[in-house]
A and B are shown apart, each in its own frame.
Chain A
Amino acid sequence: MKVDIQSLGAFNRLTHEGAEQATASMCRMTGLDAVVDVTKISLVDRADVGEQLAGGEFVGVGFDFEGELAGETALVFDRESSETIAEALVPGSAADEAMARSSVEEIGNIMMSGFIDGWADFLGATIEHSPPEYVEGSGRDVLPAPSGEAATVEGPDAFEGIEHGDAAGSGEGASAAGGSLDQVFVFRSEIEWVGESVHFYIYMLPEYGPLADVMSNQASAADGAIPVDKLGVFNEMTSDGTQRAADNVEMMTGIETEAEVTQLSFAPIEDVPKQVGTDIYVGTVVEFTGVPSGYLMVLFDEVSAVHIAEAMMPVEMDSDELTDQHKHAIEELGNIVTSGFVDGWANVLQTPVEHTPPRLVHDMGRAIVDPLAAQVGRHQDHAFLIDSEMRTDDIAFGAEIQVLPDEKELRQALDELLVERADRTEADVERVFE
């Protein structure tokens, strides 16, 4: 299967418009004011679907749908906002559990019918959906397990064991077994309740087979179509890069560090800064050149930045504030993490990828990303985003790695990517220096 950028763009727009239509329905019914904040299409490890919901309690509705496109979709609210919505629909219902549940089912039904109908209209086909099923749960458990076969087809030896259609409804453990590739497409819209720090989410988890057919039909035979197996392999290379980054952090700080979610997403340029949010971050930005070129950010929240820098210092600083020494340590860490990331691509693609020295940034997430997105946006309307996270249990520390590559060059890199070389991310120094 191949996807081209235009059809990914069209799918993203359609998902966004469907979410807007669903949100408008809710606003009309409740009088609440909400807007669709971000819509993106991600290729993600099956076990990581819904990772963004971690830590929250959610209720909502889920549907199966089938026809030209098949799969599962869900609309989920955090539990507290669902009570407000129920109250807005039927005053007094929030205290009545059965009524509150019925309200969520009904509003979910109306919102999601519009969402699915939009897809059917776009495809000029009928898509049937099941009655809404009330769902509740913690974090990603509230979402249906994505069913159907995985997105990738062939890989090098290290990635053998790729799942093929045997994971229906039981995908959670599939990718963990033997480190095999098991990635699925996720269409996700995040809806913001205006004036409140509350978000709710629409997830669509299409089955691979019907989605592949739709994408193939939409993709022109034209240039620039990307084989999806290469996208999947590239995603796995990025996962390796994140693991290398986590290993480097662990070596420099002595703090056991895990690579967490890695996903390759596709979103309109104007939505890119929204991915990072409005929290204050400390980190580094580098520009890399080669194929592909782009920007790479290593971002820590302020508390994590102090903790991680302290751990790197040979002497204890014991400061809650970021000092110049902390900043120098963060700069160097950013440099090493960046190299760990792009070197893997360079070694697999057998081409040098240069990067500038790291530039220290300390600002609101969106303010950091805005000028970079504007720069990339001079040549493209949509962007691929590579988003990785590292976490540790030892101290409060988390980091995000965001990569914003040039779309055409990424496409060229993927075109030149030899899948059988995809596990050769590390160079052998001793052999080179023999």
Chain B
Amino acid sequence: MPDVLIADDSDFMRNLLREILEEDHNIVGEVENGVEAVETYKEEEPDLVMMDIVMPIRDGIEATDEIKTASPDANVIMCTSVGQEKKMKEAVKAGADGYITKPFQKPSVMEAIADVVPS
């Protein structure tokens, strides 16, 4: 099963993502901000990061940039409520491999993961 790191400041959303993913994925960490996301990525080197954008301390785009700079092969899917085109372009520039807008349902999450991490 692919290892997944969930980065979202919302307790509710982390729970929801865990429930969607845990059947087919190994959740290696759940973090609440971009700094923790970078640290946990370095420690766990998961196959995939599900990354929120709006988070305290460091946002998901900055964290993605840092992760992808250090590990260009990292897989990061932005999993966010932000639906602004400029933000999406920033996410692409930071190296995001996919983008899901909240609210989402399990099929759209699985589809996005399949695009980024083919089984």
Contacts and interface: CB of A to CB of B under 8 A. Distances in A.
Interface class of chain B by DSSP: mixed
Interface stretch (A77-85, A113-121, A179-187, A426-434): A426-434
A335 B10 contact: yes
Nearest to A249: B103
B52 to A, nearest CB: 9
B81 A339 contact: yes
Contact of A343 (B11, B83, B89): B83
Contacts, number: 81
B101 to A, nearest CB: 7
A352 B83 CA distance: 10
A53 B63 CA distance: 50
Nearest to A430: B99
A352 B80 CA distance: 15
Interface string B1-36: 000000001111101100100000000000000000
Contacts of B55: 357
A336 B101 CA distance: 9
A332 interface: yes
A350 interface: yes
A432 B81 contact: no
B73 interface: no
A331 interface: yes
A340 interface: yes
Contact of A336 (B56, B86, B88, B102): B102
Contact of B85 (A251, A328, A329, A427): A427
Contacts of A429: 83, 88, 99, 101
A138 interface: no
Interface core residue of B19, B55, B88 (most chain A CB under 10 Å) = B88
B42 interface: no
A433 B11 contact: no
A212 interface: no
Given A252-B103, A314-B19, A332 B10 contact: yes
Contacts of B13: 332
A355 interface: yes
B12 A329 contact: yes
Contacts of B103: 248, 251-252, 336
A135 interface: no
A331 B10 contact: yes
Contacts of A336: 81, 102-103
B102 A427 contact: no
B54 A355 contact: yes
A328 B12 contact: yes
Interface in A52-69: none
A248 B102 CA distance: 8
B19 A339 contact: no
B19 A427 contact: no
A339 B60 CA distance: 15
16 contacts: A335-B54, A335-B81, A335-B102, A340-B83, A343-B84, A347-B83, A347-B85, A350-B85, A352-B86, A353-B84, A427-B83, A427-B84, A427-B85, A427-B88, A428-B85, A432-B85
Interface of A: 248, 251-252, 312, 314, 325, 328-329, 331-332, 335-336, 338-340, 342-343, 346-347, 350-357, 426-429, 432-433
Given A248-B102, A346-B87, 4 more contacts: A248-B103, A339-B80, A353-B84, A433-B98
